[in-house]
Amino acid sequence: MLLNQFLILSAVLFSIGVYGVLARRNGVLVLMSIELILNAVNINLVAFGAFRASVGGEVFALFVIAVAAAEVGVGLAMVLLLYRNRRSIDLTLIDQLRG
């Protein structure tokens, strides 16, 4: 079983995701990048699960998918409210928590 290919794929996906989260200014794209990160993790989990012939990996991946769905629901709601209030979803403009 070729574990490495999966790990490399997942690492690439993860990196793309991290790049998106850090560099993009569009809120929706940041959320999508977060999904990429989560799915990179899923690939990792499933790959290791298959590698070790244990069902635990798949189970965790399913949990992650469920949590990701909830997360994106909340995230999109926040983006929507941001847009309604400020007519923009540029994340760099939102800095009310500045110390």
Extract the tokens encoding 76: 């999109």
From residue 24 to residue 63, the character string flagging contacts with another protein as x (rule: CB under 8 A) and all else as - is ------x---------------------------------
Q: Does 3 bind another protein (CB under 8 A)?
A: no
Nearest to 40 by CA among 55, 61, 24, 66: 61
CB count within 10 Å of CB 74 equals 10
**Residue (1 or 19) nearer to another protein, CB:** 19
Nearer to another protein, 25 or 62 (CB): 25
Q: How far is the CB of 74 from another protein (least distance, A)?
A: 15
* Helix 27-51 with 56-86: angle, nearest 10 deg: 180
